[in-house]
Amino acid sequence: MRPPAGPAAARRTWLFDLDGTLVDSGPAHEAAFRQAIAEVAPALLASFRYADHAGATTGAVAARLAGPGQVADRLAERKRRLYRELVAAGRVTVFPGARRLLDHLARGGHAVHLVTSGSRGSVRRVLAHCSLAGHFGHVLTGDDVPVSKPDPRFYAEACRRFGVDPAAAVAVEDSAHGVASAVGAGLLTLQVHADRPAPGAVAAGDLTRIIGLLDREVMGHG
């Protein structure tokens, strides 16, 4: 489903991904996955490419790599523990423009929610470490939905729980998996930190450029 055209500034609800969108966590996630794979299923390490899985839940990635079962469960649990250690060590940082954009939306009266594939425990730690927790009205994590991005039901469930009309909302994503989920659920989707936009997404460059986009739309319709 392709969301209807229209200015982003006119949409009162914004749904943000976390990893790779608001926080620079990709290197930490990849390092945690690689160490976990080396410890739990070393034969899988040579073919592992983190970019192929960015945006999906840790459990879904582990199942893709090892197949459903105890090995995947151990791999996922070990990866989560390693990632949380990296968060505590300061290896996850906020992208430039993230706080400014969230503040800008709040001042404009927009509702802002978080829709992330991260586990609840990891997300809680990242939000606390990066001082972002107070910016979101609602938070949906990978522990709250039985599917993973790129499945459109991930964003559809977020909209249902938050009481959001997808046609009146904006999603901000970085990964192709996240874009596919948001676009498939009917949201206008801005993609940041990508060399080229995934199908259905609007290339936004980075978070700071979104602020400029909003200001131009408001001026053009004011």
User: pTM for the complete prediction?
Assistant: 0.90
Rg (CA), the chain: 17
pLDDT in tens, 58-95: 999 999 999 999 999 999 999 999 999 999 999 999 99
Nearest partner of 144 among 156, 124, 158, 134, judged by Cα: 158
Cα–Cα dist 90/125, whole Å = 11
For residue range 165-219, what is the model confidence (pLDDT) as tens digits?
999 999 999 999 999 999 999 999 999 999 999 999 999 999 999 998 888 765 4
> Percent of the chain at pLDDT above 90?
89
155: closest CA among 205, 199, 164, 110?
164
Q: What does the mean pLDDT of the chain come to?
A: 93
Q: How much of the chain, in percent, has pLDDT values that exceed 70?
A: 95
Closest CA to 4 of 157, 199, 168: 168
Q: How far apart are CA 59 and CA 73, in angstroms?
A: 7
Q: What is the mean pLDDT of residues 107-122?
A: 95
Q: What is the DSSP string of 58-110?
A: HHHHHHHHH-SSHHHHHHHHHHHHHHHHHHHTT--EEPTTHHHHHHHHHHTT-
